[in-house]
Amino acid sequence: MLTQYDIEEVQEHCNNLFSQHEIVSLYQRFCQLDRNAKGFIPADEFLSVPEYAMNPLSQVVYFEGCHGIWKRLLKMEDGLNFKDFVAFLSAFSAKASTNQKIEHFRTFSIKGFQIWLLDNSEICTVVYPTKCCMVYDSDSNGKVSLNDILEVLRDLSGAFMSAEQREEILSHVQQEAGYSKSSYLKLDDFIKVLGHSGLKMDVEVPVD
Amino acid sequence: MGSTGKLNSSSSELDLDRPNIEDYLPSGSSIQQEPHGKLRLRDLLDISPTLSEAAGAIVDDSFTRCFKSNPPEPWNWNVYLFPLWCFGVVVRYLVLFPARVLVLTIGWIIFLSSFIPVHFLLKGHDKWRKKIERFLVEIICSFFVASWTGVVKYHGPRPSIRPKQVFVANHTSMIDFIILEQMTAFAVIMQKHPGWVGLLQSTILESVGCIWFNRSEAKDREIVAKKLRDHVQGADNNPLLIFPEGTCVNNHYTVMFKKGAFELGCTVCPVAIKYNKIFVDAFWNSRKQSFTMHLLQLMTSWAVVCDVWYLEPQTLRPGETPIEFAERVRDIISVRAGLKKVPWDGYLKYSRPSPKHRERKQQNFADSVLRRLEEK
């Protein structure tokens, strides 16, 4: 059972992006997924949720574990404890996009930077990193290269697109956006590309 | 990766012509509106919809909901409710429970002392033997129901013994079978269990013509399918009861019906069962409790109250596939019992989803991107 102290601690850990009700709800969900009541969710437990398992990106979601090391969610040997669980999901909190007082981006990206515009407001230079998912930058060098994008495209399209088609698509859009084949995409590039229309990445936590 | 085109099916149950999952997911979580227009770099970099779906599934998903058994809200928290509750506990455990155990023991004594002689002595006179055995099985089931103070209301015409018909019902616990059996001696198809339940299965239930299967054996399916067909053809056999969900669900939802029962070429009579949770939650969460514990829990509760509806027999309509037929019958049962339908296969409780689901999403994405590539 969660005490008020526990809730507040978790809330602080996720930068107040969830309300206390939502944290209680998430705790119930955590207990449901943590079937053996061990206090952490083993990585492959996520695969027992059919809706998650059938998501094309389920394999490549990363998470910042301890010591700032990014690991694939499904390969985390120590599993996810409740604080990590909430931190992971806080990237999707609706509050993250309606916080109007602090104009900041949430950097939600794994090893790459995917800037998330809040409410179509202007891009602010304050970058507010949080611990959460990563998808890009599979060769872990801090920049997103052509190859990295190809990898993600491959996960999203599976066997339904040949390698040539993927290359074709990538070169087409890259040229259109003004990048060359050997360009790397950094933080600023992401900002520019994902631009002013913002990203909609909210998940609602069911509160009884 | 890199296998182009050849997709193995891990289980033959998960056919491609099953209902579309997107029809069932709440509208907020389904695929975003079709993107259109020229393909831009942004479309490749913006993976937020897919990622949101992944996170949404972690926060709440319709499959886990089917097997959630909510513990009842404690109501004994103040000065006068607590003693009342204590009194209730005393009555339930020290008065009702022993009385029920006594009733059940008497029932077993009567049953065994009649069943065993009849089974062996009337070996030659099969017709009589079967009739008496049927009657005795109904009796012992009534004793079971009495041992939980079962209040079962049956609605609709009672099942009759006719060939070429099967009965299908939604499944909440193994007691579904007992509740239905006390009214009519069905032959049922069940997973073979270990322990004393298995013993009962191989001795007494054999006599009413039950069929066993083993979930974990893939080859088993053909053998079982044949046994089903043979049973249904026989005029003299007890009516066959099948639980097409294949697993116990928590009586708020129904999972996909397996099509096996619907392709036997006979009339399907739907039966809907709904338990009243106020008295006891009859959902048997086989992962959390053994059947013995489940029975003990029922015997120390106040009552098991449920409604059973025997619904209008259905036949395969011309041009309807067995899967559509199964869905139609599931609809009828769900509406009658007030259950919500989910598009998941109950066996996902025991195994991971096949890659086919993910492949469908990938295909949608690939088609959409390729199409937009063409639009210049």
Q: What pLDDT score does B154 carry?
A: 93
Query: What is the rounded CA–CA span in Å between residue A191 and residue B233?
Result: 69
Residue B371 amino acid letter: R
Cβ–Cβ gap A203/B42 under 8 Å? no
Q: What pLDDT score does A143 carry?
A: 60
Average pLDDT of every residue of chain A: 66
Residues in A touching B344 (Cβ below 8 Å): 50
Q: What pLDDT score does B339 carry?
A: 92
CB-closest option in B54, B357, B358 to A61: B54
Q: How far is CA A146 from CA A63, A139, A176, A180, B45, in A?
A: 22, 11, 14, 9, 11
Cβ–Cβ gap B57/A55 under 8 Å? yes
Kindly compute the dihedral angle of the four CA atoms of residues B71, B73, B74, B79, in this order, to the nearest 10 degrees. Answer: 180
Cβ neighbour number for residue A168 with a 10 Å cutoff:
14
DSSP string, B202-221: HHHHHHTT-EEE-TT-STHH
For residue A80, what is the enclosing H or E element?
strand A80-81
Of B167, B311, B303, which Cα lies nearest the Cα of B231?
B167
As given in the structure block, the two tokens for residue B85 are 């509750």
Looking up tokens 């190809």, which residue turns up? A150
For the packed helices B97-121 and B291-299, what is the interaxial angle rounded to 10 degrees? 120
The band of A96, judged by pLDDT with boundaries at 50, 70 and 90, is: low
Query: What is the rounded CA–CA span in Å between residue B113 and residue B135?
Result: 14
Residues in B touching A179 (Cβ below 8 Å): 41
Residues in A touching B49 (Cβ below 8 Å): 200
CB-closest option in A52, A162, A200 to B58: A52
Query: What is the rounded CA–CA span in Å between residue A206 and residue A159?
Result: 35
Q: What pLDDT score does B96 carry?
A: 92
In angstroms, how far apart are the furthest CA atoms of chain B? 86
Helices (H), chain A: 4-13, 20-33, 50-53, 82-90, 95-98, 146-157, 163-177, 187-194
Chains A, B: CB contacts within 8 A come to 168
Of B92, B98, B145, B94, which Cα lies nearest the Cα of B301?
B92
Q: How far is CA A2 from CA A23, A102, B125, B345, in A?
A: 10, 29, 67, 34
Query: What is the rounded CA–CA span in Å between residue B200 and residue B196?
Result: 6
Residues in A touching B38 (Cβ below 8 Å): 176
CB-closest option in B4, B63, B365 to A162: B4
pLDDT digits (tens, 9 = 90+) for A144-171: 667 777 777 787 787 888 888 888 888 8
CB-closest option in B41, B62, B358 to A176: B41
Cβ–Cβ gap B362/A32 under 8 Å? no
Cβ–Cβ gap B366/A172 under 8 Å? no
Cβ–Cβ gap A153/B7 under 8 Å? no
Q: What pLDDT score does B367 carry?
A: 83
User: Is there a contact between B58 and A52 (Cβ–Cβ < 8 Å)?
Assistant: yes
Q: How far is CA B146 from CA A9, A25, B103, B113, B273, in A?
A: 51, 39, 8, 19, 18
The band of A185, judged by pLDDT with boundaries at 50, 70 and 90, is: low
Cβ–Cβ gap A199/B59 under 8 Å? no
pLDDT digits (tens, 9 = 90+) for A18-35: 888 888 888 988 888 887
Kindly compute the dihedral angle of the four CA atoms of residues B317, B322, B323, B329, in this order, to the nearest 10 degrees. Answer: 60
Residues in A touching B65 (Cβ below 8 Å): none
As given in the structure block, the two tokens for residue B314 are 């259905």
Cβ–Cβ gap A55/B5 under 8 Å? no
Query: What is the rounded CA–CA span in Å between residue B359 and residue B187?
Result: 40
CB-closest option in B28, B52, B68 to A32: B68
User: Is there a contact between A64 and A73 (Cβ–Cβ < 8 Å)?
Assistant: no
Query: What is the rounded CA–CA span in Å between residue B333 and residue B264?
Result: 19
Cβ–Cβ gap B358/A32 under 8 Å? no
- pTM, 2 dp: 0.74
As given in the structure block, the two tokens for residue B44 are 């490749």
For residue B229, what is the enclosing H or E element?
helix B220-233
Residues in B touching A52 (Cβ below 8 Å): 54, 57-58, 61
Tens digit of pLDDT per residue, chain B (376 long)? 333 333 333 333 334 444 555 455 443 334 445 556 667 776 766 666 777 787 788 888 888 888 887 776 777 778 888 888 889 899 999 999 999 999 999 999 999 899 888 888 877 777 888 888 888 999 999 999 999 999 999 999 988 888 888 999 999 998 999 999 998 888 888 888 888 888 888 877 877 888 887 766 666 777 878 888 888 887 778 889 999 998 889 899 999 998 888 888 889 999 999 999 888 888 888 777 888 899 998 999 989 999 999 999 999 999 889 889 999 999 999 999 999 988 888 777 777 777 777 787 788 888 887 887 777 5
As given in the structure block, the two tokens for residue B358 are 């993910």
Kindly compute the dihedral angle of the four CA atoms of residues B352, B357, B358, B360, in this order, to the nearest 10 degrees. Answer: 170
Residues in B touching A193 (Cβ below 8 Å): 41-42, 45
Considering only alpha carbons, which residue of chain A is nearest residue B52?
A201
Cβ–Cβ gap B369/A50 under 8 Å? no
Of A61, A97, A87, which Cα lies nearest the Cα of A200?
A97
Assess whether pLDDT exceeds 50 at residue A114.
no
Of A98-107, A129-138, A145-154, the one with minimum mean pLDDT is A98-107
**Residue A141, CB-side half-sphere exposure with 13 Å CA sphere:** 9
Query: What is the rounded CA–CA span in Å between residue A132 and residue A116?
Result: 13
Write out the E strands in chain B. 150-155, 165-169, 187-191, 211-213, 240-242, 253-256, 267-275, 304-310, 340-345
Residues in B touching A145 (Cβ below 8 Å): none
